[in-house]
Homo-oligomer: A and B are copies of this chain.
Amino acid sequence: MEGISLEELQLAARNHGMPLEALRYPVTPIGLHYLLTHYDVPDVAPDGWRLAIGGLELSLDDLRARSVAEHTVTMECAGNGRARLEPRPVSQPWLLEAVGTARWRGTPLAPLLAEAGIPDGTVEVLFTGLDRGIEGGDEQAFQRALPLDEATRDEVLLAYEMNGAPLPPQHGFPLRLVVPGWYGMTNVKWLSRIEFLAEPFSGYQQSWSYRVRQSEDEVGEPLQRMQPRSLLVPPGIPEFMTRDRTVAAGEVLLEGRAWSGLAPVASVEVSDDGASTWSAATLEPAGEPWAWRGFSYRWEAKPGEHVLCSRARDEAGNEQPVEPPWNLGGYANNAVQAVRVTVTP
């Protein structure tokens, strides 16, 4: 790997992944959930804050007085895996760990849109956050749009609680969008404004970033739903610097979690020889539809060096590749994880 630059390191020091041992928790504790902040975490005083939506202006109390829904949702950054690509696209250098699962509680979006009045000819709904910065040379607030038919799905929430507590500042206090199944950038934090658009949104985060393409000349395809991925809890104990693992020979229960935003997880396989041969893992019973699904595999660990991998397939037939799929922005690299393990006699 070519060395990470100071600018990439600055991002890696601010943003953070989920340490993979935290895959043990079905709901990720606050502080272990991955976090990516494009600009700064804004300082929002809840008393003065209002959400503008069409002609409505709503306070946090107004939103809390509405119907309540809660979903357990696995959320992954679209850039997860970027730093595993060669050549490496330069941005936040995620390896594997930009994921987490939370219980998001709030009010469903669709009834609010209806109450605000969806104008005829609306094609997209635009969400604007309070976080401001400069990107591509232009000052901007973070903005993302959803097609109207996606914005009005039942499971789309305006969330004011995470894991049973008010949103922490870094996760969007006082209100964020949660779109189960979609990559993280969709879930606009520090929401201030929702607007109806008669034309597709062409802002920076929609038409330039978050598109799969091979060169800047291409328009590319927008990133939307999460590709299937599985991750193993690294077994045994780590070496501090290399993070390579050591376990004692014998039966080792390998555990992990798998998800896909495209369809339910259908199967997970495990390899102990670096993706040459595969064996079926046991899936835990399916839980909530937007949450990751646990799996396990009883591994007969024999002394020597091993590379553990896992591979998820979803019911739509999407499967994790062994080789990383390269693209210009370094998005959606769901290639299989490789965990180096030394088994001691």
Contacts and interface: CB of A to CB of B under 8 A. Distances in A.
A139 B246 contact: yes
Contacts of A31: 30-31, 33, 35, 168, 170-171
A118 interface: no
Interface stretch (A8-16, A68-76, A103-111, A281-289): A8-16
A301 interface: no
A41 to B, nearest CB: 5
A133 B237 contact: yes
A193 to B, nearest CB: 18
B135 A9 contact: no
A2 interface: yes
Given A168-B29, A240-B135, A43 B24 contact: yes
Listed from nearest, the 8 A-B pairs whose CB atoms lie closest are A3-B3, A16-B16, A4-B4, A31-B31, A12-B12, A21-B40, A134-B239, A135-B240
Interface size class of A (residues with CB under 8 A): 35 or more
Interface in A1-47: 1-17, 19, 21-22, 24-25, 29-33, 35, 37-41, 43
A240 B17 CA distance: 18
A93 interface: yes
B134 A90 contact: no
16 contacts: A3-B3, A4-B4, A4-B9, A12-B13, A13-B93, A13-B94, A13-B95, A14-B243, A21-B43, A29-B168, A29-B169, A39-B237, A133-B237, A133-B240, A134-B239, A135-B241
Given A2-B3, A11-B243, A13-B97, 12 more contacts: A1-B5, A1-B6, A6-B83, A7-B242, A10-B243, A13-B93, A14-B97, A16-B16, A19-B41, A29-B168, A30-B168, A133-B238
Given A1-B6, A5-B1, A132 B13 contact: no
